[in-house]
Chain A
Amino acid sequence: MALTFIASPVLAIPPDPDNAALLYYQGFLMLAQLEEVAWDHISNVARGKTEPDDKAREYISKCAGAIEFAEVAVKAPKCHWGVRYSQGFEALMPQLPQMRRLTFVLMVDASIRAADGDYKAALERCLMAGTFARHVGDDTLISYLVSVAVRNLEYTCMRDIMGRAVGDVELLQWLKNKLATSGTVDLSPVRPLKIEIEIVSNLIRIDNVEKFAWIMALSNEKKAMEIIKKADEETLNQARRIYSERMNSALTVLSTPMPYEQAHSRLKQLVDFDQDDPVSMAAKFFTPALDKVLSQKTAVETHANAIKAAIELLLSHAGTGHLPDTLPSGLPKDGFSGKDFEYEKTKEGFVLRCPGKDLDVYRYDFKIKK
Chain B
Amino acid sequence: MSTEKDDKWLDELISQSIDTTEPRFNAEEWKKKYPDAFQSILSRRAKPEPSGRSDILRMIFVHPIPSLSATAAVIIVVTGFLLTRNGQKPNGTTPEPQLVAQSPAKIVSMMSLRTTYQQGGWDALDRQFREILNTLGPGPSSLSMGQLLQNSNGF
Contact = CB atoms under 8 A, between A and B. Distances in A.
A145 B102 contact: no
Contacts of B140: 28-33
A273 to B, nearest CB: 8
A166 to B, nearest CB: 31
Contacts of B133: 39, 97-98, 101
B32 interface: no
Contacts of A277: 54
A142 interface: yes
B58 A142 contact: no
Q: How large is the interface on A (under 10, 10 to 19, 20 to 34, 35 or more residues)?
A: 35 or more
Given A223-B82, A230-B82, A281-B81, A92 B105 contact: yes
Contacts, number: 132
A275 B53 contact: no
A145 B125 contact: yes
B132 A94 contact: yes
B59 to A, nearest CB: 10
Q: Is the interface of B mostly helix, strand, loop or mixed?
A: helix
Contacts of B84: 278
A210 to B, nearest CB: 15
A305 B122 CA distance: 22
Interface string B111-155: 101100110011001101110111010111110000000000000
A33 B133 CA distance: 10
B117 A282 contact: no
Contacts of A363: none
B134 to A, nearest CB: 6
Contact of B54 (A97, A101, A276, A285): A276
A232 to B, nearest CB: 9
Interface of B: 52-54, 57-58, 61-62, 71, 74-75, 77-82, 84-86, 89, 98, 100, 102-103, 105-106, 108-111, 113-114, 117-118, 121-122, 125-126, 128-130, 132-134, 136, 138-142
